[in-house]
A and B are shown apart, each in its own frame.
Chain A
Amino acid sequence: MDLAFTPGEQAFREEARAWLAAHVPTASLPSLETAEGFAAHRAWEAELAADRWSVVDWPVAYGGRDAGLVRWLLFEEEYWAAGAPGRVGQNGISLLAPTLFDHGTEEQRARVLPPMARGEVVWAQAWSEPEAGSDLASLRSKAVRTDGGWLLSGQKTWSSRAAFADRAFGLFRSDPDAAKPHQGLTYLMFDLRAPGVTVRPIARLDGKPAFAELFLDEVFVPDADVIGEPGQGWRIAMAATGNERGLTLRSPGRYRAAADRLHALWRDRGGPDGMRTRVADALIGARAYQVFTYAAASRFLDGASLGPESSLNKVFWSEYDIALTETALDLLGAEGELADTEWAERYVFALAGPIYAGTNEIQRDIIAERLLGLPKGRR
């Protein structure tokens, strides 16, 4: 048992740190939830990709460095510590790419992954529907067989950044007669600018317009854009979520950096006594999340799959993020009310954490039933 990094890992960390110091924009980019910010972030993704820092753990063939999980974690620590911009490509990178690695064809990987790594094609996740939130398997959008492909119809909603994104991936009901809701679903990729697609932006809590609902009217998708076997969509879509939720959606580096900045803010400003406890707890939480992830990564590298354990992770970071950002706003006092600060933006984003990626109520059910073995109750 040790926490030391190998000389190779250290060297990798140093190389990342040096590159970031030379390239991270000195002024922060406009919010990636706006049209202007989206464009600026795409340019940043391209700059990262040019020197192979956009997807360090991917194979070299697709634009990565084959760096592995531990180096990815180190890269993320350096990335956020350097104050680098949020990643506009994250949904594609953390949700679609792992699925293509496991279930896609070689042709799909070669076609989809390199432009994703460069930010040329930004992906939106089209899972939720107006009547299918937590009960995702009740989704009704359908895929109907046609010559050489499928016709998609229905409505998707709450799709992050779909207002500006290029393509989307989602689940569709291809066999309306299947015995169970989880069966007869097909996982497909489609173009957000294809004929038959209408994208309607929805303002988020802070009024930013990147969220969207999608109306689909017989949108053609070629067979080449079906992921895995038709009818197997549920299994394929869910396969990536466990390890992804558990290890790669929210890296500890992000929180480590934020907690250190909060600590610095508190040292600068002080604050009433109660703030001491909250700032200390933010530092402690960041360390807890960091070493929890190191332990999970160690088990993962030993061949364990994380499965339901990833629900612990989701509940932890989402609640932690809110506590951290609330503490910052409270420390800022009257200035904490200003909406155009980084802490305010972070806070508004944090508020959504317990809702997306499976609500925390659903995660607690998973923890109780699958990790603690409690009996299933009514759903």
Chain B
Amino acid sequence: MRLVLDDEQRAFTDSLESMLTGADTPSVVREWSRGEHGSGRALWSRLAAAGVFALAAPEEYDGVGVRPVELALAFTALGRHVVPGPLVETIAAAVLLPTPDLVKRLVSGETLATVAYGGPYALDGDAADLCLVLTPDGLHAATGHGPVRPSLDPARRLTTLTPGALLTSEPPLAKALLLARLTTAAQALGVGLALLDQTVRYVRQRTQFGVPVGSFQAVKHQLAAAKTALEFARPLVLAAAVTLDPADVAAAKVTAGEAAYATARTALQLHGAIGYTAEYDLSLWLTKARTLRTAWGSPEECRDTVLSAGDPHC
């Protein structure tokens, strides 16, 4: 039993973090929200070059095999930096697709994929090169997408898809769903961690009544509660990546989603009015925390998975 990162995993996270720190992701998000995908696609290529999409594909498809721990680390970083686009969907597609050439193009970053699963909307159907639809019959390519509908998170653009040609009648759905949930949970964790960092920074420098607002106990205790919630979500995400047990993955999704969302509420409150403005970058994280909470399995669906599991932990 050793639930700590090894040197290689730490180095991978550090290099991804520093690349993303330099990438000015807030302006990438703002362009993406307007339907301008150029800077987003450029960043996407850099993520592919860093090996992010290879983490979900077998070696013969130019991947490195499914590496859930590294995927979780990568998606935590993507969440921290609010990278836009159908990231989770592309991972799910890499698992679902039966065709090597398509998967290779996902791994290289040439192709963005999106998937409609369990609901009417697919994320970023207008930006994706490959739109997939899961039905009870199997995996279909979409013939086209409907008009773009805005999401509560301006960076998420929703479209309906129309199922076309059947690609496979037996896609590995369970595995794809597990990885989608795991990466969504990790992304939510990253969003929450970033919200906490930004809020701590803000309350240290914002002064009222002659002192930093961060010296007030009512403020401190809200942030301590956020820190506690996030620090208990982190090992759940890692443990879920290690076991890929559906109950563990569901537990990670609920916990990270709720922790990030509660942190978003705290972050908004402690920023005061400036936090409520769209032009201030905090808003990019605030709105994502809300939408990731329900993406790829609502808290209630995930809790059902936990409840219906036997006792998988011993």
Contacts and interface: CB of A to CB of B under 8 A. Distances in A.
Interface of A: 1-5, 9, 70, 77, 81, 256, 260, 263, 276-277, 279-281, 283-284, 287-292, 294-295, 297-299, 302, 309, 312, 315-316, 361, 363-365, 367-369, 371-377
Interface stretch (B26-34, B122-130, B217-225, B285-293): B217-225
B279 interface: no
A3 B243 contact: yes
A314 to B, nearest CB: 10
B212 interface: yes
A371 B2 contact: no
A369 B299 CA distance: 32
B126 to A, nearest CB: 36
A236 B200 CA distance: 32
Given A1-B9, A299-B4, A364 B303 contact: no
Contacts, number: 153
Given A3-B243, A281-B303, A292 B231 contact: yes
Contacts of A284: 236, 251, 254-255, 303, 306
A287 B236 contact: yes
Contact of A375 (B204, B228, B304, B311): B204
Contacts of A361: 217, 221
A288 B233 contact: yes
Given A9-B1, A298-B2, A375-B214, A283 B227 contact: no
A281 B4 CA distance: 25
Interface in B209-245: 211-212, 214-217, 219-221, 223-225, 227-228, 231-236, 238-239, 242-243
A266 B255 CA distance: 21
6 contacts: A276-B303, A280-B303, A280-B304, A291-B239, A294-B239, A373-B204
A288 B227 contact: no
Given A263-B307, A277-B300, A365-B220, A1 B243 contact: no
Contacts of B89: none
Contacts of B273: none
Interface in B196-216: 196, 200, 203-204, 211-212, 214-216
| Contact residues of B: prevailing secondary structure | helix
Instruction: Please classify how large the interface on chain B is, using the bins under 10, 10 to 19, 20 to 34, 35 or more.
Output: 35 or more
Nearest to B199: A372
A369 B221 CA distance: 10
B5 to A, nearest CB: 6
B215 A288 contact: no
B278 interface: no
A298 B238 CA distance: 13
Nearest to B2: A298
Nearest to B241: A1
B3 A374 contact: no
B251 to A, nearest CB: 4
Contacts of B54: none
A291 B307 contact: no
B314 A3 contact: no
Contacts of A81: 314
A284 B81 CA distance: 27
Interface of B: 1-6, 9, 69, 196, 200, 203-204, 211-212, 214-217, 219-221, 223-225, 227-228, 231-236, 238-239, 242-243, 247-248, 251, 254-255, 299-300, 303-304, 306-307, 311, 313-314
B2 A368 contact: no
A291 B304 CA distance: 21
A298 B4 CA distance: 6
Q: In the complex, which of the residues A260, A365, A374 has the most CB atoms of chain B within 10 Å of its own CB atom? A: A374
A13 B232 CA distance: 26
B1 A4 contact: yes
B202 to A, nearest CB: 11
Given A1-B238, A256-B313, A292-B235, A287 B248 contact: yes
Nearest to A279: B307
A287 B313 CA distance: 8
Given A365-B220, A372-B223, A280 B2 contact: no
A27 to B, nearest CB: 25
Given A288-B235, A288-B251, A376-B215, A283 B307 contact: yes
Contacts of B1: 2-5, 9, 70, 294, 297-298
Given A280-B303, A291-B239, 11 more contacts: A1-B238, A9-B1, A279-B307, A281-B254, A287-B247, A288-B232, A292-B236, A363-B224, A372-B227, A375-B212, A377-B220
A289 B217 contact: no
Contacts of A316: 228, 232
Contacts of A295: 3-4, 234-235, 238
A18 B203 CA distance: 54
Given A295-B3, A312-B227, A1 B314 contact: no
A281 B125 CA distance: 34
Contacts of B254: 280-281, 284
A77 B311 CA distance: 13
A291 B303 contact: no
B306 A290 contact: no
A131 B311 CA distance: 47
Contact of A372 (B215, B224, B300, B304): B224
Contacts of B219: 374
Given A277-B303, A283-B307, A288-B236, A371 B227 contact: yes
B220 A364 contact: yes
